[in-house]
Amino acid sequence: MVGGGQLARMTHEAGIPLGIKFKLLSDTPQDSAAQVVSEVVLGDYRDLDTLRDFARGCDVITFDHEHVPAEHLAALEADGVVIRPGREALVHAQDKGVMRARLDEIGAPSPRHRIVADPADAAAFAAEVGGFPIILKTVRGGYDGKGVWFVRTPEDAHDPFRAGVPVLAEEKVDFVRELAANIVRSPHGQAVAYPVVESRQVDGVCDTVIAPAPGLDEELAGQAQELALRIAKELGVVGHLAVELFQTKDGRILVNELAMRPHNSGHWTQDGAVTSQFANHVRAVLDLPLGDPRPRAPWTVMCNVLGGDYPDMYSAYLHCMARDPQLKIHMYGKDVKPGRKVGHVNTYGDDLDDVLERARHAAGYLRGTIVE
Ligand code: ADP
């Protein structure tokens, strides 16, 4: 796996019971996955020679992030290296402009959008969609809300252009909530769909995921799953695909973005589904039959644990574990920095209010924002 973050750490964990030899390309030995994988190559994923050396001896390569340059992926494929998902699919998760154009082609619903050349063009786009505010996004390099601007006035429209990367303008969707439709597809074309979840963000960062999305109309949930399966098929995705969606006031769903790797909106599956997103990603990448995606409990809630003011989160375990014996804690081994995602917790059960309260309490206690 290329990339040493928590997604690689948890994918590695899912491969252990299958006896898979897992090799990692990581930036530093301190990276979340590099701390636990036995075969770690330290190096820069932006360097083609490093990638080529790393690929030697691998049966298949997959990714913990979408930042490996597309031309390097093409070079590796030309060398005969098996990459899953492949370059042709991955480019849609790397470049929001390419993604929007392709989704239009296959008739998948998106917010109104177009590439804009400069702040004046952004203002013209705003006029076309009924005025400010609009959303501007750099087509490449964004994550966790970085690279996304809520633009309220023409003066606000200057910053996104400073990065020197093409800028995508989108109408500001008046959504009631954000959903995610997560599916896994194998090279054979076998695919499984997880229940559609609700994802709540705070300051552009995922905070809580509820599985399944409460009160979601069955028909809309089915549409969202079918849409994700269709996108995966049309784009040739192999592995886990997260389709982030907006649910609008008038009961439609619009695609926000695509991630072709395990995703934060699927962390609940570790404890809440028969087969986790990580286990199914491993199976798909190795072209093995996929596992059952169905939930184990009526409700599962995932809350991210963000870094707080004190560096030692482990002292909070005593309280959290004693309070809730069913609580599942997943920490990533990262140094605690305020606002950084350092772990998550999962809770599950029959009563949504109770399951939500337990997850929120544990995440808040670990962070230090709840003290009793
Ligand atoms: P990232 O690459 O950081 O994940 P996203 O494209 O998912 O960026 O945008 C981050 C957040 O910004 C979304 O989760 C959503 O809350 C908000 N957002 C993005 N696009 C729009 C839009 N067109 N309308 C309204 N809100 C948006």
Same domain? 183 vs 35: no
Same domain? 162 vs 248: no
Same domain? 162 vs 184: no
In the reported structure, the alpha carbon of residue 14 is separated from the centroid of ligand 1 by a whole-number distance in angstroms of 30
pLDDT averaged per 10 residues, the chain (length 372): 98 97 98 98 98 97 96 98 98 97 98 97 97 96 82 93 93 97 96 98 94 97 98 98 97 97 98 98 98 98 92 90 98 93 98 98 94 82
In the reported structure, the alpha carbon of residue 115 is separated from the centroid of ligand 1 by a whole-number distance in angstroms of 16
In the reported structure, the alpha carbon of residue 160 is separated from the centroid of ligand 1 by a whole-number distance in angstroms of 14
Domain at 119, CATH number: 3.30.1490.20
In one-letter notation, the amino acid at residue 230 is R
For residue 338, give both structure tokens: 């305020």
Residue 142: the pLDDT is 74
**CA 185 – CA 238 distance, rounded (Å):** 5
Helix and strand totals (H; E) in the chain: 11, 15
Residue 349 lies in a domain: yes
Q: Which of 95, 98, 256, 304 has the most ligand 1 atoms within 8 A of CB, as the residue to mutate? A: 256
Residue 314: the pLDDT is 86
Closest CA to 164 of 138, 125, 136: 138
Nearest atom of ligand 1 to the alpha carbon of 96:
6
Residue 14 lies in a domain: yes
Residue 210 lies in a domain: yes
In the reported structure, the alpha carbon of residue 35 is separated from the centroid of ligand 1 by a whole-number distance in angstroms of 32
Structural domain boundaries enclosing 42: 6-83
In the reported structure, the alpha carbon of residue 100 is separated from the centroid of ligand 1 by a whole-number distance in angstroms of 14
Same domain? 187 vs 248: yes
Same domain? 240 vs 363: yes
Q: Does the beta carbon of 145 sit less than 6 angstroms from any atom of ligand 1?
A: yes
Q: Does the beta carbon of 135 sit less than 6 angstroms from any atom of ligand 1?
A: yes
Q: Does the beta carbon of 271 sit less than 6 angstroms from any atom of ligand 1?
A: no
Same domain? 54 vs 122: no
Number of domains in the chain: 3
Contacts of 59 (CB under 8 A, 6+ apart): 82, 286
Q: Does the beta carbon of 204 sit less than 6 angstroms from any atom of ligand 1?
A: yes
The burial class, CB within 10 Å (0-12 / 13-18 / 19+), for 243 is buried
Residue 115: the pLDDT is 98
Same domain? 132 vs 190: no
Among 83, 104, 136, residue at a domain's last position: 83
Q: Does the beta carbon of 153 sit less than 6 angstroms from any atom of ligand 1?
A: no
Residue 97 lies in a domain: no
Residue 309: the pLDDT is 83
For residue 69, give both structure tokens: 């340059």
**CA 347 – CA 316 distance, rounded (Å):** 17
Same domain? 157 vs 207: no
Residue 22: the pLDDT is 97
Residue of minimum CA distance from atom 5 in ligand 1: 145
Same domain? 348 vs 298: yes
Residue 281: the pLDDT is 98
Residue 268 lies in a domain: yes
Same domain? 127 vs 153: yes
Q: Does the beta carbon of 333 sit less than 6 angstroms from any atom of ligand 1?
A: no
Among 171, 190, 206, residue at a domain's last position: 171
In the reported structure, the alpha carbon of residue 80 is separated from the centroid of ligand 1 by a whole-number distance in angstroms of 36
In one-letter notation, the amino acid at residue 85 is P
119 DSSP 8-state letter: H
Same domain? 167 vs 195: no
Same domain? 194 vs 155: no
